[in-house]
Structure 1
Amino acid sequence: MTSSALSLPPARHRRPTLGRIAAWAALLAMLSLTLLPLWMVIKTALMQPADCSPSRRPCCRSRRRC
């Protein structure tokens, strides 16, 4: 083989079309809709039980308010 047989053709620079941009945007939206709930599940599974409380304040066992 010669070196000319291994050379790649020159790259053509095409302008991105509106359809291609919309397809990439749809792909990224679907990917985020898939991964966001998974991330929330993993994050919740790795939290300590005290971190999951709505107020995130330590429980007050005394009679005075926190």
Structure 2
Amino acid sequence: MADGPPPRIGDLGQQHLPGDEVWLVGEHRSTGERKCYFSNLPVGTSLRKLTGAIKAHWVCEQAN
């Protein structure tokens, strides 16, 4: 996702996203609002599964 050393999170060591590719996904809502997300899902992932994963992640973030 970016140059530089991977972050160290507590006692978990150095953290990396799995896989070699990371995708930037853009959403342009009907309200005019724009959102961006990173995804490391495989290339062949359907738009339906990608959208489901993004929205499920958003729900988890709102619960925190």
| TM-score, with length taken from structure 2 | 0.32
Give 1 or 2: higher helix fraction: 1
Give 1 or 2: higher strand fraction: 2
Q: Please identify the structure whose Cα radius of gyration is greater.
A: 1
Q: Which has the higher contact order (CA 8 A, sep 6+)?
A: 2
